[in-house]
Amino acid sequence: MSLVDTRTPDPKKFIKGATGDWEMVIGLEIHAQVTSESKLFSGSSTKFGNAPNSNVSFVDAAMPGILPTINQECVRQAVRTGLGLKAKINNRSIFDRKNYFYPDLPQGYQISQFKDPIVGEGIVYLDMGKDGEVEIGIERLHLEQDAGKSIHDQHPNMSFIDLNRSGVALMEIVSKPDIRSSEEARTYIAKIRTILRYLGTCDGNMEQGSLRADINVSVRSPGGEFGTRCEIKNVNSMRFAVAAIEYEARRQIDILEDGGKIDQETRLFDSKSGKTRSMRSKEEAHDYRYFPDPDLLPLEFDDEFVAALAKDLPELPDEKHDRFVSEYGITSYDASVLISSRSNADFFENVAKGRYGKLSANWVINEFFGRLAKEELDVSNSPISAKQLGGIIDLISSGDISGKIAKDLFEIVWGEGGDPADIVEKRSMKQVSDTGAIEKMIDEIISANPEQVEKVKLKPQLIGWFVGQVMKASQGKANPQAVNKILKEKLAL
């Protein structure tokens, strides 16, 4: 890989050391399990949680004489992912053998792609909030087999093996060394996961290991030559990714400031201690002896195959974000929150269609998402539908209820269900905009509180106290604009 620095050093990201400032350089290799019914080269199921060794065919068990056959669905998924990463699709790619004896990959080698991957260079955009947009280059995406699992803790002197995962298709997505902070790395992983989920090419489930990252970290003096990197293997949560990067960068800075040098090595992150430790040095690195797998022809497809997949691609997060901003007139920040998943975005659109965008966004983000998070629910098992929330918003827009009453109504609909307009009608929750009724309440309050009336004449901001009294008397149902207007008239403010 030719290493080109595409970023301008940003002093806000520099790390203070004893001898001066330092800058992190990070590149990620993300392994994403391809969403597909069967494995990359066999018809075995990929279902998670099946009994050990039940998803294993002769191919996965590497029986002599058995030949691999490429799974077209995995190829389609890899191409679709490449398109989602705005990357170059290679119409001809090669499967290589990566020699490495894994007890949990019985072939004795992993089928992967080395020199000629299925997907080439692409771009991912990160929304870094007030720090603006950042562009991270994608170096490549290739297809490869996953390994099974060795189990060492169930027998005193034997190891067990579960080959269910062996041969499952993975996409390895390799970034350029364009990432400059742990926060950017976290945002990058989240963005890749969102893109994969929109496309439906990987479920993105980090707890189950469907998505995991190898993190390459080095440090340098700002804008200087790239330093020697260390690779932290198999990080399976965003929180761990941030902790591992912070620890590793500091460790390297301390060594360099002590006059030492960084050994290129593979390290592991221990989530209990929050530290990384050496797994193997470059000298111990495996000699993979890559060569094209003679059992597999080069993988070739034509432009029509790619064009057909491109045509059926769903709207992706970046495009949805921009459309939400222009179509609904909401802020870029709100749009970023709303597009975090396809189902969240769809919910918002169902609420906002034909309604005031900003008000809809506020209600979906603050009340609705806030409440879902509190109850550890998501849109799919929400007790409130988009139609019901839309109904509440309609009642606010028409002036039938105030924002405050709307919150009470939201609680009722959340807990008991029902049609918002019916509930408002039945429980007489309608806002009182009838000026006669409001005037009557105000007259009573004024005549009962002569001292407050004297005070407010000297200090007009005390009008708030009167507004409060009217709201109390009306049980929150008086229209606040009408109350303010009439109060000002009556008190001659």
Footprint on this chain of ligand ADP (rule: CB under 6 A): 1, 3, 25-29, 174-177, 216-218, 226-227, 229, 231
Instruction: Compute the least distance from the CB of residue 262 to ligand ADP, in Å.
Output: 10
Alpha-helical (H) ranges within 291-362 are: 303-311, 317-328, 332-338, 342-352, 357-362
137: tokens are: 């280059």
**Closest CB to ligand ADP belongs to which residue?**
27
282-314 burial: b if 16+ Cβ within 10 Å, else e: eeeeeeeebebbeebeebebeeebbeebeeeee
Instruction: Compute the least distance from the CB of residue 74 to ligand ADP, in Å.
Output: 21
Tell me whether residue 82 or residue 177 sits nearer to ligand ADP (CB atom).
177
Instruction: Compute the least distance from the CB of residue 288 to ligand ADP, in Å.
Output: 9
Tell me whether residue 288 or residue 333 sits nearer to ligand ADP (CB atom).
288
Instruction: Compute the least distance from the CB of residue 1 to ligand ADP, in Å.
Output: 4
- Nearest partner of 36 among 194, 206, 202, judged by Cα: 202
Instruction: Compute the least distance from the CB of residue 230 to ligand ADP, in Å.
Output: 9
With left for phi above 0 and alpha for psi between -120 and 50, is residue 156 left, alpha or beta?
alpha
450: tokens are: 């002569």
Count CA within 13 A, CB hemisphere, residue 157: 0
| Beta pairing partners, 119 | 89, 141
Asked if 378 and 385 touch (Cβ cutoff 8 Å), the reply is no
Tell me whether residue 265 or residue 318 sits nearer to ligand ADP (CB atom).
265
Instruction: Compute the least distance from the CB of residue 122 to ligand ADP, in Å.
Output: 13
Tell me whether residue 27 or residue 68 sits nearer to ligand ADP (CB atom).
27
Angle (CA) 211-7-186 rounded to 5° is: 25
Instruction: Compute the distance between CA of residue 120 and CA of residue 174 in angstroms, rounded to an integer.
Output: 10
Q: Which residues of 168-229 form beta strands (DSSP E)?
A: 169-175, 211-220
Instruction: Compute the least distance from the CB of residue 139 to ligand ADP, in Å.
Output: 6
Tell me whether residue 1 or residue 458 sits nearer to ligand ADP (CB atom).
1
Instruction: Compute the least distance from the CB of residue 229 to ligand ADP, in Å.
Output: 4
Tell me whether residue 83 or residue 232 sits nearer to ligand ADP (CB atom).
232
Tell me whether residue 231 or residue 394 sits nearer to ligand ADP (CB atom).
231
Asked if 38 and 46 touch (Cβ cutoff 8 Å), the reply is yes
Instruction: Compute the distance between CA of residue 63 and CA of residue 472 in angstroms, rounded to an integer.
Output: 80
Tell me whether residue 60 or residue 144 sits nearer to ligand ADP (CB atom).
144
